[in-house]
Structures are given as structure tokens and as C-alpha cells.
């Protein structure tokens, strides 16, 4: 092993298999789960009611998400009564609250992820680039750290990393949005105008689509927004529930010269649907025949996103791009499961219908945008660098009481660039925007570190609270044939051993491994003798606090014949973003450790496989903090900078 830092690192190898509980010495896997589907309408309705009332809705594949402990509810999740998906955790009465200290709460706040100064935040809204500034709008409660009184917060950045808070962009002050200015999207027109469509909840809690636009296009900060006097511009069509019709997309231009938008809804309570509306002036709309796409048994579609990708390109495409060599991505946030799903397919611009390449992995039943704690994502085309950028909302998994005490809730992920994976032809590639690399400080390299089966290797990098980790793994098989009864997908977490895995890194861990979050690969034997690999994150031992949701997340990731196992992991206090195989599979985790904080946070390699040794090569950067603060309007220098843009 070699280290390319000023300090030589020679971690001592010690045998310490990952345990299901700090005091247990057995690493036997836990196996088995059951999924019972009712066929009687009454029972199905009852099940749906129960799921909708759970504090942490089940993912679409129950075997890929395991929750450590069950919760009983004392109250319904906030937001359901308002006709919008639950945006906060309910109260729990069978879990003892942890005695958090102010120092623990302070540590949980991130250092380089965007979050408001205080209070509640959810979905990203209308991201765009204008006159040298990136704009991020977001759902925001100016009065509290829990969901409610939803307005549009506003922030700007020159580089997508350092942000300035601006005054609120839109507040609920009209009959058509008095119960909330909800999620929306921006469209940049060829003549330079900007139109913003957003959902308003009316004085009668009807979800309608409204139009807004900048008061002054010459203002690079877009400080003032005007609401169209003729709002609402779109109301729920006949047959659509008044409270299940929301989140308009960015518009795209059709071959007939008119614009289209899609709006999420559902039919018959179970059929997730995207409707298409046509307009020439953004104030008058016509519902087109049929639907853009619909998938049975996926429930209400929120935050629909629809955009083109180049199948042989290295740059992003404007939303209006059409023609050969282009496919379209359709993404929906599933209200029933709180999971973002996408599929890649073909858009027929004449019929305004979209068809998935693989119907077995259609929207809502196949690939996920992110396999972890992640929702309500939205993309935009960055015309300054010819790339498509993805934002996603990451909410808390602690209690509302904790959020109120610390005074804030929720973050946005690091913006990600999105490209079509032309090597597999089946996936998107998500990768942190290159600007985040400007935060990298000193780097340490570990080469060819051998991690024997059933062992953990400490990596001496000092404090491990803010990191950017690149890791590559090779496996050396120790057994000729495996006869183990291997559990599928991510199993019960990093303790669930199989022949070829799990192996990876332990982040936000303390020296005694009483708290840790494994990020790992789990290759499994298939019937034809090949390996099928899962990329996973295990939160079940991330915190000793009993009132925090802790799950095992993960999904299948293609590993091609000419590829090693590789991951990139961004660690930022209470959030961990993990990218497997160049971003084919991505997992966002929230962790709330009680001991692995500040100077006690450590980083380890681990290999809990039973039949392979692993050789690892890593490059690890300590990450600086980003500057995220109110815009300094009073400073002449910044006034001049704004004027120059």
C-alpha cells in the first residue's frame, strides 16, 4: 500500500466483522420477508389507507428497503388533509425521544449542501440560468421548521455551490394560491422571456396551474415576480380529482410551433398519469387527446419531469430538442411510495405519446432516480455549459419535535449532471457537477489495499465529516464454487454475508464501530453462473438514537466486463450521497449519529464477503465548506458585480 500525501499511511488490518448490534459477535445473515397482496376491493382500500398513514411509506420493492423498527402513529402525516403528499414526519408515540444536545444538532447541519438559514424546505422549483446566475427556487415555510404556509424561497449562485439567499419570490396571497404556492417549472423562451408555471391550492383547496413572470428581465437576480391577472390558466379537467392535479413541467416546443406542458395526476386512484396541455401564449391551454403516458398501480404522479437525452452525446439537451439520436426521459415522483422513478423511451411528437424502451421497467415499476432518501427531483438545461442539471429534495428522518428544536428541516442534493449511459443503453448517469471539486482540499491516496474476507481496515485521514471519496475495488475469489443460499438484493444490510460481498467503505463511523454507515457492493451468483451486482447503503447502525428512521437502501447496478467496482461518495455531516459505477445507481442517505461526530468521525474499508478478498484503491479529499449566506445588497462590490452581469 502507498500513500501520496505528505503523511504515510499504513493502516493495521484487524479482523472485526460488521455486526448487527455492537455487542453481538455473530455475523450470520438474517433472511426472509413476506409481501401479502389483498385482492378484495375493501381490503385493498384499507391497505392503501394504512400505507398512506405510515410515517415512512414503503418503497415499491419491499425487499430492497428494510426499516430498523416499526412505528405506530399518533397523528396523520402533515399535508394529506391539504391534498398534497405528506411532507413531514408524523408524531410517534412508541419511540423514546433521544436526548439530543445543541452540539449534536449543530453538527447535523451540512457544510456544502444547500439548505435555508432556518425553517422548512421541500421541492426544488423552477431552476434556471439567467445573466450569469443560477437560480434555485424551493418550497419553503417562512414561519416554522415543519411543512405549511408554502411559499417560494429563492437563492442564486455563480457556481451551483456557493449560494446567496434572496427575498421570497412568491407568497400565497391570491384566491388561486392562498393555500400554497406549490411546485412549478421555468421555461426560457427563444426571445429571452421567462415564464414560470406553478401549482396553486385555491381557497377551496382545488389544485390549479398558474402563470408568473419576472417583473424586470434586465435584473440578473430576478428579485420581483408578477402573477398573471388571469390566473389560473389550467384547472382540473373533467374526471380528474380537484386535489390530484399538480406540478407542471418545463414546456417543450412541438413541430407545429405550439408549446406543450405535462401535469401529473391519476385515474381511478391507482393509474399514475401525465396529461399534456398545448399552448401558444402560456395563458390559454388546450388538453390534448389521450395522455403522454400512464402506468397502472403506480398511484398519483407528482413532480413529473420530461426531457430529451442524446444517445451518443456528452452534453445535455435543451428541453425542446427533437429528432434522430434522441430519446426522452419520463420521470415521476410517486406519491404513494415517496420514490422518484424514471424510464427512457421514445416520444412521438405527432401523437404526443411516450413509449418506454422496456415496458417491464416502466415509470414507477423500474429504475429509480435515487434509491435512498430522495424525492421531488427536477432538471433544467444549463445553456451556459450545455448540460442538464438535476436537483433533488432530501428530507429529515428524525421527528418533527427534533426539527422544531433545531429550527430547520431538509436539504437539497449537490446538483448533478445527467447523461444517457450509452454503454448500457438502459440507464442514466448522474454525477456531481464539476464545480463541487472546487471545495477539495488536501488529498490522500491509498493504493492496492488488501481487505481480507471478514475484516475492516481503518483509513488514517483524520476527521471524516466532510469528504469526497473515489474508490475502486477488485475481487480475488477464494472459493471455486458457492453453495451458499444467498439472499437477493441488499439483504438485511452489511451484516448479511454472501460469497462475493458486501464490501465497500464505512463512513461517519466512530473508532469502536458502534455507529457506522456502510456504502457497499453486493455481487450475487445467478442461475447462469454470472454475477448480478447491487449497490447499497445501510443506515441501520448509523445512529444510537431510537427515534430516527434507519433503513437499508439499494438497487441493482450494471458492472460491465471491462469495469471494476467503483464508487464515489460525498460525505457532508448528516447526508451521504453515493454514486455507483459512474452514477448508474445513486443512493442518498440521512444519518444522525450521536458519537461519530466532529473529531470522532472516521472512515474505514470493510469486506464482509465470505469467499473473496478485496483490493481497494482510493483517493480521498477533505472538503471545504461552501459560503451560503444572505445576499450582501449593502456591499458596493456585489452591487457592481450584479450590474456587470
Burial of 314 (0-12, 13-18, 19+ CB in 10 A): exposed
DSSP states of 248-299: PPPPEE-TTS-EEEEEEEEETTTEEEEEEEEESSSSS-EEPSS-SEEETT--
Q: Is the pLDDT of residue 618 over 60?
A: yes
pLDDT tens for each residue of 219-236:
999 999 999 999 999 999
List pLDDT tens digits, range 578-591: 999 999 999 999 99
Residue 146 has pLDDT above 80, yes or no: yes
pLDDT confidence band for 45 (50 / 70 / 90) = very low
pLDDT value at 13 more than 50: no
Residues in the chain, how many? 645
What local confidence, expressed as pLDDT, does residue 31 receive? 33
With a cut of 60, say whether residue 56 has pLDDT above it.
Answer: no
Arithmetic mean of pLDDT, 144-155: 96
Average pLDDT (151-166) is 98
pLDDT tens string 324-361? 999 999 999 999 999 999 999 999 999 999 999 999 99
- In this prediction, residue 451 has a pLDDT band, given cuts at 50, 70 and 90, of very high
* pLDDT score, position 174: 98
pLDDT of res. 51? 35
pLDDT at 15 over 90: no
Task: Categorize the per-residue pLDDT at 55 as very low, low, confident or very high, splitting at 50, 70 and 90.
Answer: very low
What pLDDT is attached to residue 41?
A: 35
Whether the pLDDT of residue 454 is over 90: the answer is: yes
pLDDT of residue 10: 42
Those residues whose C-beta lies under 8 Å from the C-beta of residue 326, and which sit 6 or more positions away, are: 308, 309, 310, 311, 317
Q: Give dist(CA 150, CA 508) in Å, integer.
A: 33
- 644 against 197, higher pLDDT: 197
pLDDT band at 23 (very low <50, low <70, confident <90, very high): very low
In this prediction, what percent of the chain has a pLDDT beyond 90? 78
pLDDT greater than 70 at residue 133:
yes
User: Which residue from 189, 191, 145, 149 is spatially nearest to 170, judged by alpha carbons?
Assistant: 149
Those residues with Cβ within 8 angstroms of residue 144's Cβ, 6 or more apart along the chain or in another chain: 119, 120, 404
Q: Residue 48: pLDDT above 50?
A: no
pLDDT band at residue 638 under the 50/70/90 scheme: low
Active-site residue set: 123
Q: Where are the beta strands (DSSP E) in 2-89?
A: 66-67
Percent with pLDDT over 70 in the chain: 82
pLDDT for 166 beyond 90: yes
Tens of pLDDT, residue by residue over 477-528, are: 876 655 455 667 898 999 999 999 999 999 999 999 999 999 999 999 887 7
Residue 485 · residue 549 · CB < 8 Å = no
H-run or E-run covering 640: helix 636-644
Instruction: Note whether 120-432 and 440-623 share their fold.
Output: no
- The predicted pLDDT at position 14 comes to 35
CATH class of 120-432: mainly beta
368-399: pLDDT as tens digits: 999 999 999 999 999 999 999 999 999 999 99
The CA-atom distances, in angstroms, between 239 and each of 45, 242, 244, 247, 379 are 20, 9, 11, 18, 29
> What span, in angstroms and rounded, lies between the C-alpha atoms of 220 and 644?
9
Give residue 27's pLDDT. 31
- 631: pLDDT strictly greater than 80: yes
Interior/surface letters 511-532, b for 16+ CB within 10 angstroms, e for the rest: eebbbbbbbbbbbbbeeeeeeb
The CATH number given to 440-623 is 2.60.120.560
Specify whether the CB–CB gap between 521 and 532 falls below 8 A.
no
Q: Is-cis flag, bond preceding 232, omega within 30?
A: yes
Give pLDDT tens digits for 526-542: 877 788 999 999 999 99
Q: What is the pLDDT of residue 28?
A: 30
Residue 1 pLDDT > 90: no
* Helices and strands of the chain, counted as H and E runs: 4, 38
Q: Give me the mean pLDDT over the 624-643 stretch.
A: 81
Q: Tell me the CA distances in angstroms from 288 to 4, 197, 237, one per residue in order.
A: 61, 18, 11
Lowest mean pLDDT among 144-158, 181-195, 339-353, 468-482: 468-482
What DSSP designation does 479 have? -
Q: Where are the alpha helices (DSSP H) in 12-141?
A: 41-52, 102-108
**Mean pLDDT, the chain, whole residue set:** 87
Query: Looking at residues 299-309, what average pLDDT do you find?
Result: 98
Q: What is the pLDDT of residue 235?
A: 98
Identify the pLDDT of residue 93: 45
Determine which helix (DSSP H) or strand (DSSP E) holds 555, and give its type and residue range. strand 551-556
Half-sphere exposure of residue 546: CA atoms within 13 angstroms, side-chain side? 10
Query: In the chain, where are the structural domains located?
Result: 120-432, 440-623
pLDDT at residue 488 in the model: 76
Give the neighbor-by-neighbor strand order of the sheet with 66-67: 66-67, 551-556, 531-538, 517-525, 503-509, 602-607, 455-458
Amino acid at each position: 500500500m502507498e500513500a501520496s500525501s505528505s503523511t504515510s499511511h499504513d493502516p493495521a488490518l484487524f479482523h472485526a466483522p460488521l455486526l448487527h448490534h455492537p455487542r453481538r459477535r455473530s455475523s450470520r445473515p438474517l433472511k426472509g420477508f413476506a409481501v401479502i397482496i389483498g385482492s378484495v376491493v375493501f381490503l385493498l382500500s384499507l391497505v392503501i389507507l394504512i400505507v398512506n398513514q405510515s410515517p415512512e411509506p414503503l418503497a415499491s420493492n419491499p425487499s430492497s428497503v428494510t426499516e430498523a423498527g416499526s412505528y405506530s402513529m399518533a397523528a396523520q402525516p402533515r399535508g394529506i388533509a391539504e391534498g398534497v403528499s405528506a411532507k413531514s414526519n408524523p408524531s410517534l408515540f412508541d419511540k423514546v425521544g433521544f436526548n439530543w444536545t445543541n452540539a449534536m444538532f449543530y453538527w447535523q447541519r451540512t457544510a456544502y449542501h444547500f439548505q435555508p438559514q432556518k425553517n422548512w424546505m421541500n421541492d426544488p422549483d423552477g431552476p434556471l440560468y439567467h445573466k450569469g446566475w443560477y437560480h434555485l427556487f424551493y418550497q419553503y415555510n417562512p414561519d416554522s421548521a415543519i411543512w405549511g404556509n408554502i411559499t417560494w424561497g429563492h437563492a442564486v449562485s455563480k457556481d451551483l455551490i456557493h449560494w446567496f439567499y434572496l427575498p421570497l419570490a412568491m407568497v400565497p396571497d391570491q384566491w388561486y394560491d392562498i393555500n400554497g404556492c406549490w411546485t412549478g417549472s421555468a421555461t426560457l423562451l427563444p426571445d429571452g422571456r421567462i415564464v414560470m408555471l406553478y401549482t396553486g391550492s385555491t381557497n377551496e383547496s382545488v389544485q390549479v396551474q398558474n402563470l408568473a413572470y419576472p417583473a424586470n428581465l434586465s435584473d440578473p437576480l430576478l428579485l420581483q415576480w408578477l402573477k398573471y391577472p388571469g390566473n389560473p390558466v389550467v384547472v382540473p379537467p373533467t374526471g380528474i380529482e380537484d386535489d390530484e392535479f399538480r406540478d407542471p413541467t418545463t414546456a417543450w416546443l412541438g413541430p407545429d410551433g405550439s408549446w406543450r406542458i405535462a401535469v401529473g395526476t391519476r385515474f381511478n386512484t391507482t393509474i399514475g398519469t401525465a396529461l399534456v396541455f398545448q399552448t401558444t401564449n402560456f395563458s390559454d391551454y388546450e388538453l390534448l387527446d389521450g395522455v403522454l403516458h400512464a402506468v397502472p398501480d403506480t398511484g398519483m404522479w407528482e413532480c413529473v419531469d420530461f426531457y430529451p437525452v442524446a444517445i451518443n452525446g456528452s452534453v445535455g439537451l435543451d428541453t425542446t430538442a427533437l429528432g434522430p439520436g434522441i430519446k426522452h426521459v419520463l420521470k415521476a415522483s410517486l406519491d404513494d411510495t415517496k420514490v422518484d422513478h424514471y424510464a427512457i423511451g421514445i416520444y412521438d411528437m405527432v401523437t404526443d405519446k411516450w413509449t418506454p424502451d422496456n415496458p417491464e421497467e416502466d415509470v414507477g415499476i423500474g429504475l429509480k432516480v435515487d434509491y435512498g432518501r430522495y424525492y421531488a427531483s427536477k432538471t433544467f438545461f444549463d445553456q451556459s455549459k450545455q448540460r442538464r442539471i438535476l436537483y433533488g429534495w432530501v428530507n429529515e428522518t428524525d421527528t418533527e419535535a427534533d426539527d422544531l428544536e433545531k429550527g430547520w428541516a431538509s436539504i437539497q442534493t449537490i446538483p448533478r449532471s445527467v447523461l444517457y449511459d450509452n454503454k448500457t443503453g438502459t440507464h442514466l448517469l448522474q454525477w456531481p457537477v464539476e464545480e463541487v471539486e472546487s471545495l477539495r482540499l488536501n488529498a490522500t491516496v491509498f493504493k492496492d489495499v488488501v481487505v481480507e474476507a471478514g475484516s475492516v481496515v481503518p483509513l488514517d485521514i483524520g476527521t471524516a465529516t466532510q469528504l469526497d471519496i473515489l474508490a475502486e475495488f477488485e475481487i480475488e475469489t477464494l472459493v471455486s464454487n458457492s453453495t451458499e443460499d444467498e439472499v437477493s438484493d441488499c439483504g438485511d444490510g452489511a451484516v448479511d454475508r454472501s460469497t462475493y460481498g458486501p464490501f465497500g467503505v464505512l463512513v461517519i463511523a466512530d473508532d469502536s464501530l458502534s455507529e457506522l454507515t456502510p456504502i457497499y457492493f453486493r455481487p450475487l451468483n445467478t442461475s447462469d453462473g454470472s454475477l448480478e451486482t447491487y449497490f447499497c447503503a445501510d443506515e441501520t447502525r448509523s445512529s444510537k438514537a431510537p427515534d430516527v428512521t434507519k433503513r437499508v437502501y439499494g438497487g441493482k447496478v450494471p458492472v460491465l466486463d471491462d469495469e471494476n467496482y467503483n464508487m464515489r461518495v460525498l460525505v457532508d455531516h448528516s447526508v451521504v450521497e453515493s454514486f455507483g459505477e459512474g452514477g448508474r445507481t445513486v443512493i442518498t442517505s440521512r444519518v444522525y449519529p450521536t458519537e461519530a461526530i466532529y473529531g470522532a468521525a472516521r472512515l474505514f474499508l470493510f469486506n464482509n464477503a465470505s469467499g473473496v478478498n478485496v483490493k481497494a484503491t482510493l483517493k480521498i479529499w477533505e472538503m471545504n465548506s461552501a459560503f451560503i449566506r444572505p445576499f450582501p445588497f449593502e456591499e458596493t462590490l456585489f452591487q457592481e458585480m450584479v450590474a456587470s452581469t
